[in-house]
């Protein structure tokens, strides 16, 4: 009997702590879950703060780059404006706008002197090299002096029409007296006619008097000039 009581007591002493431990486990798990949740929340907030800092840093960097790009663009715009102003001033000094010749940008002066003192004067209209359908001064040398017979209405036509007008002048140098050389280009039209022909008493050169007429938008302007044919085949304005 005494042996049985001892065995029972020992069994109780072993089982009781195990039962207490079993009952204690659920509470411990909850504490660990709450501790894990708090830890997760702290890590999430830390990650959010880090993300926000990185976003703000990226925004500041983007803003700096945008301002830098804007400053660079402004510098380039000012540089281009200065270059344009320099080219405009250079064009003003030379008296003519930029034109394309042999794929190179050059300046065609409105006033210049060619060989044998042939004077080119383009007071109105477009300034370019050549005359009529000739796009080089050397090719158009014979007729370049006719630029001195000018009309203000040339400012109202395009280059193609102006060259058509000049081509009519070229043809008028060999056309019969009184025959109108008529041209038309876009909304502009006109004619050139030889009104008189004779020989100069002083030089013996053949001279012709020409009339030029241009009409644009119902408005007509006329000009007259006299030129003499030189020994080299070029024409020279005499009045």
The single residue listed with the structure tokens 């007429």 is 213
Pick the range with the lowest mean pLDDT from 29-38, 44-53, 129-138, 220-229. 29-38
Residue 182: name the closest of 215, 218, 226, 154 by CA.
Answer: 215
If you search the block for the tokens 């706008």, which residue do you land on? Answer: 97
The pLDDT, as a whole number, for residue 94 is: 42
**What's the rounded Cα separation, in Å, for the pair 21 and 38?**
26
d(CA 167, CA 131): 7
Helix and strand totals (H; E) in the chain: 2, 9
- How many angstroms separate the CA atoms of 22 and 189, rounded? 114
Amino acid 107: pLDDT: 66
pLDDT, position 42: 87
The answer on pLDDT for 76 being more than 50 is: yes
Write out pLDDT tens, residues 139-150: 999 999 999 998
The pLDDT, as a whole number, for residue 12 is 52
Identify the pLDDT of residue 38. Answer: 87
Q: Is 238 exposed, middle or buried (0-12, 13-18, 19+ CB in 10 A)?
A: middle
What pLDDT, on the 0 to 100 scale, is given for residue 195? 97
Q: 159 near 190, Cβ under 8 Å?
A: no
Q: Specify the higher pLDDT residue, 100 or 204.
A: 204
Strand order in the sheet with 219-229: 180-185, 188-199, 206-216, 219-229, 235-237
Q: Mean pLDDT over residues 99-119, rounded?
A: 72
């Amino acid at each position: 009997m005494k042996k049985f009581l001892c065995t029972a007591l020992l069994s109780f002493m072993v089982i009781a702590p195990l039962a207490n431990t079993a009952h204690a486990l659920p509470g411990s798990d909850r504490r660990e879950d709450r501790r894990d949740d708090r830890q997760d929340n702290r890590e999430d907030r830390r990650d959010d703060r880090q993300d926000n800092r990185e976003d703000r840093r990226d925004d500041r960097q983007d803003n700096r780059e945008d301002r830098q790009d804007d400053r660079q663009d402004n510098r380039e715009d000012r540089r281009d404006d200065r270059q344009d102003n320099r080219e405009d001033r250079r064009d003003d000094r030379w008296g003519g706008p930029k034109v394309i010749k042999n794929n190179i940008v050059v300046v065609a002066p409105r006033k210049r002197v060619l060989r044998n003192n042939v004077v080119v004067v383009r007071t109105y209209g477009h300034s370019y090299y050549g005359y009529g359908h000739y796009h080089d001064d050397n090719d158009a040398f014979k007729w370049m002096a006719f630029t001195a017979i000018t009309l203000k209405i040339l400012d109202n036509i395009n280059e193609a029409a102006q060259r058509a007008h000049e081509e009519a002048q070229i043809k008028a140098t060999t056309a019969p007296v009184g025959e109108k050389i008529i041209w038309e280009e876009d909304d502009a039209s006109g004619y050139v006619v030889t009104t008189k022909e004779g020989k100069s008493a002083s030089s013996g050169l053949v001279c012709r008097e020409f009339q030029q007429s241009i009409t644009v938008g119902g408005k007509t302007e006329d000009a007259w000039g006299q030129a003499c044919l030189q020994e080299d085949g070029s024409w020279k304005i005499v009045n």
